[in-house]
Structure formats: structure tokens, C-alpha cells
Amino acid sequence: MKLTVLLTSAAAVAAMVFTGAAPALAESTLDIVKKRGHVRCQVGPASPGYYFLTAKGEWRGLDVSVCRAVAAAIFGDTSKLEIQSVSSQARFTSLANGDSDLLSRTATWTMSRDTQLGIDFTYPTFYDGQGFTVPKNSGIKSGMDLKGAKVCVTTGTTTESNLIDFSRTNNLNISVVTFEDYNVRDETYLQGGCDAVTGDKSSMAGNISAFPVPSDHMILPDTLSKEPLSPAVRHGDNQWADLVRWTQFVMIGAEEMGVTSANVDDMRANSKDPAIRRMLGVEGNLQKGLGLNKDWAYNIIKLVGNYGENYERFMGKGKEGIGIPREGSLNALWTKGGLMYSPPMR
């Protein structure tokens, strides 16, 4: 697996945002990826749970699993992957101009992004909401107690605009202190430079776990926003968008049907369930519209696992997890009261 760090000029970002343009595709993204021999998948600077580097220099996390799953679907090999770590300011331009084939990072699906930046969102991998982190001994019990406070936030994100809206709506006169790097943001907060930090609650839970004394901090009960975090692809290539979207649906659908990385071989050999047999390529030709081999979904499950396996591993109580309960949340399967739902594979 390769690692690339991309930098894009502010002028280029502004130009792309202003025009909302994406380059015309002379050939399909899938053809380009196959000729190149690997997928270029964009994440952000390391964030616990979603995308982080191990001591061996390997990228891991829930969003990285989507990248690995796309590589598995195309090549049957998760190492056919180049991970690109891109700043928040440059992320959408890097995708729209073709530097990345796929964006899989904590990016909120919004209308303006979906319709003006030359990109298309696929399907949420995590449903989140924005909140505040404060010291437990601060006496702050809710966001309404932040009147006149200094709040640290990462710039170039929906988090910043949500904070401004929250302050204006409630006449709180919050002083917004912006940072490009969330590590610098958190260090400033820890040193007393801000009264609170705001961000997606899942990301803050991961960040707090890395604080010197995590128990000295808490996330307030307020939820400021809806944050459906979704991968995105370049606008104008429906086949590629379908490929990424149905890669996600395979992971969710496999969990619905009880197919895991551990039992997928047995399921492929012995299951009598037509839905499982279609998904695993034993019967039917679901792969034709995607331009993939019959074993594409089998490879995803075998090499990466289903959605639940990856959630537990990285977001839940797994060895690499950040301890966010799934039960009763929006990220549970639809059969358990959540929003994770795969259309029928038929």
C-alpha cells in the first residue's frame, strides 16, 4: 500500500469551488484504475477510528476499509491501493481534478458540496453529529453555557459554519478560533487557549482518548447538526459511482445476511439462500454492470469483512476501536433501529 501526501494551492481550491467544474472524462475511472494497477484513495490527516497509521506505517480505520474494499472488488488484492493524506482545504479539489479516484474520509454530505464542487457522494459510512468537548471541572453543562467563550474548531469544514450558526441563533457571541490541524487545535485547548473544542462527536471521542488524562474531559449532550459522513467520487462517471456505492452495500448487506470474513467460504460453498448466492457470484451476473469479475463481492467480504466487523474493529470495542457504542444508534442496521440499509442485490 502506497502513501501520498497531496498539497493543492488555495487559488486552485477557490477556482474549483467557484466554477463547480470537473474535468471531462476521456475514459472511465475504472479503466484508468485498471491500467494504473491500483486505486488512489484519499483520507485526511490521521484521525482515530477513521484513518490512522500503525507503528508499521500501515493505514487503518473505518474509512480506510472502504478504500481497501474497492481495491478488493477490482483487483482481489487490498494492497493495490495508494492512500493519499490530503488537507481539509484541498480535499474536494484533489478529487474533482482527478488526483484521487475516491474520497473516503470524514466528509459531511451537504447539498452545496454535492451540487457545486464537481463531486458525487455515495452512501454514508457513519451518521454523526457535532458537539462540544469541555473540561469536566469547567462548570459548563451545555452549549448554552458557552456565551462569550472561545471555541477551537478546524477550519474549512462544516463544523466551523455550524458553530457560527449556533452562536448567531442563540446570541452567544462565541469567539471562533480556527486551526488547519486538529492536533494543534487540541493542544491549544489543552493548554487553556480555548474554553471548548467543537467537532463531530465520534472524532472528539477518539481525540479525547489520546489526551494525557481523558477522564478530565467530557462531551456535552448537545448535538448541533446532522453529519452524514460519506465517501465521494468525481462527478460524471456513473459506473464508478455505482462501483463504490455497491461496494459499501455489499459490506452492509453481508452483515444483514450474516456473512462474515470468517464464514464466507462456507457460505459460498453451501448456502441455499438465493440472495447470498447472488451476492457471492455463485449464480446470476450482478457484476456485469460494474465491469467486475463474479467474485468481486466475495473478495470484499473475505479480504475486508462486512460493515459490522469493521465498525467493531475501529469504532467500537475492538483492539483498535475508540469505544463508540453502536447499539441503539443511527449506525445500527435498519433491522435493529438504525439507518444502515442495503438495497436488494438482485
Beta strands in 174-252 (DSSP E): 175-179, 196-200, 217-219, 227-229, 232-234
pLDDT at 19 over 70: no
Per-residue pLDDT tens over the stretch 195-232: 999 999 988 888 898 899 999 999 999 999 999 999 99
pLDDT at residue 300, rounded to an integer? 98
Secondary structure of residue 175 in the 3-state scheme:
strand
pLDDT at residue 61, rounded to an integer? 97
Residue 166 in grid coordinates:
449556533
Exposure string for 34-47, b = 16+ CB within 10 A, e = fewer: eeeebbbbbbbbeb
pLDDT at residue 3, rounded to an integer? 56
Task: Give the CATH H-level superfamily of domain 130-225.
Answer: Periplasmic binding protein-like II (3.40.190.10)
Pairing state of beta strands 81-86 and 175-179?
unpaired
Beta strands in 155-307 (DSSP E): 175-179, 196-200, 217-219, 227-229, 232-234
pLDDT at residue 183, rounded to an integer? 87
Which residue carries 497509521 as its cell? 53
Of 27-36, 66-75, 109-118, 152-161, the one with minimum mean pLDDT is: 152-161
| Fold of the domain built from segment(s) 2-127+229-246 | D-Maltodextrin-Binding Protein; domain 2 (3.40.190)
Give 17's pLDDT tier (boundaries 50, 70, 90). Answer: very low
Tell me what the pLDDT averaged over the chain comes to: 92
327 burial (CB, 10 Å; 0-12 / 13-18 / 19+) is exposed
Phi first, then psi, for residue 155 (nearest 5°) are -80, 160
pLDDT at 7 over 50: no
For CATH 3.40.190.10, the residue range(s) in the chain are: 2-127+229-246, 130-225
pTM of the model as a whole = 0.86
pLDDT at residue 2, rounded to an integer? 59
